Amino acid sequence: MITKDNYEAYFLDAIEGNLSMDELRDLNKFLAENPELRKELEAYDKDFILIPENISFSEKNSLKHKYLFLFPSWAKYSSVAAVALIFLILASQLFFKSEKETSTIKQQPIASNTNIIGRVIKEIENISTRNKRTKKEQQKENKQAKQTVQEKQVASTIITTQTQESTQTQDTIYSNSLVIYEVENLITYNDDKEESIVNSAIVVQGSSQAVSQESKHVNFTNRIINKFKSRIETRIDETKEDFNSVIDDFNGGIKLYASNIGIKSK
């Protein structure tokens, strides 16, 4: 219902064409009852509209959330940040790579020294074992050959000399030990049977200086030992052939004795 309190709303709807036929009929009836209000309706200018002014709020950035506060900066300096990041990554990789290479280079001698030390320790242990064995053999030889105490001193000298040669490979030293062991076995055998074989061999393999029976404890070099070993083996083979030739002429008891020699040599 149109009253004096709300007639402006009906006037506005009428000007804007939003009234239905019934509402227009009610409005005309209201204007007929209040003719002084018709001037207001006629004075209203629907084209009188306020034009917005351009007013800016200069503190927008302070309103934005902190997380996205840096978004414009990120967009603006994204390329610079990407380049800086790549540079840092490359620099860090180069740094760690250089550090790694340096440490590797520094560790190489340490590892080598460790190997040498380990090898030296093993060699010392081997030599100690061999020393014990050698001493045992020497004692046995002393008993068998009735040698003097001076021979034991020579044996200890051999051990000292061999310790100084710790840079040699383990296989070489084992070979020396084996050869020495073979030689000692052969010497032991020859002490009983053919003592002259070993003496002559040592004289041949040694230097121009005279080598006595005691020189079987000299620290042989690889070259000398190998040659000496081959000669000894040759002589052993020859000895075995001699025995084999004799075996044919003797009974089985002698064969058993020859086989015992072979087992002991191994």
Partner 1 sequence: MTEKEFNNCVDSFADNVYRFLLKHTKDVDFAKDVVQETFTRLWEKRDDVDFFKSKSYIFATAYHKLIDDIRHNAFTVYEFKVEREISHNYSDLKDILNMALETLPQIQRSAILLRDYEGYSYDEIGDILNLSQQQVKVYIFRARTTLKTYIGSIDNII
Binding residues for partner 1 (CB under 8 A): 5-6, 8-9, 11-13, 40, 43-45, 48-53, 55-57, 59-60, 62-65, 67-68, 71
Report the alpha-carbon distance of residue 254 to residue 240 in Å, rounded.
12
CB 141 within 8 A of CB 184: yes
Query: Smallest distance from the beta carbon of 75 to partner 1, in angstroms?
Result: 13
229, 182 contact by CB (below 8 A)? yes
Distances (CA, A) of 178 to 2, 14, 56, 101, 127: 132, 128, 102, 43, 12
Cβ nearer to partner 1, comparing 45 with 171: 45
Q: How many CA atoms are closer than 13 Å to the CA of 223, on its beta-carbon side?
A: 2
Question: Which CB sits closer to partner 1, 55 or 105?
Answer: 55
CB of 100 vs partner 1, minimal distance in Å = 43
CB closer to partner 1 out of 6 and 169: 6
Which residues lie below 8 Å from residue 122, measured CB to CB, with a gap of 6+? Answer: 170
Contact present, 225 and 176 (Cβ < 8 Å): yes
Nearest distance from residue 79's CB to partner 1, in Å? 22
| C-alpha–C-alpha distance, residues 171 and 35, integer Å | 133
Least Å distance, CB 93 to partner 1, is 35
Q: Which lies closer to partner 1 via its Cβ, residue 13 or residue 26? A: 13
Report whether 1 contacts 26 (CB < 8 A): yes
Q: Please say which residue, 54 or 164, places its beta carbon nearer to partner 1.
A: 54
| Minimum distance of partner 1 from residue 85's CB (angstroms) | 24
Count CB neighbours of 40 within 10 A.
12
Of the pair 18, 148, the CB lying nearest partner 1 is at: 18
**CB-count burial class (<10 Å; 0-12, 13-18, 19+) for 164:** exposed
How many of the other CB atoms lie within 10 Å of CB of 125? Answer: 10
Least distance in angstroms from the C-beta of 55 to partner 1: 4
Nearer to partner 1, 50 or 80 (CB): 50
At its nearest, how many Å lie between partner 1 and the CB of residue 46? 8
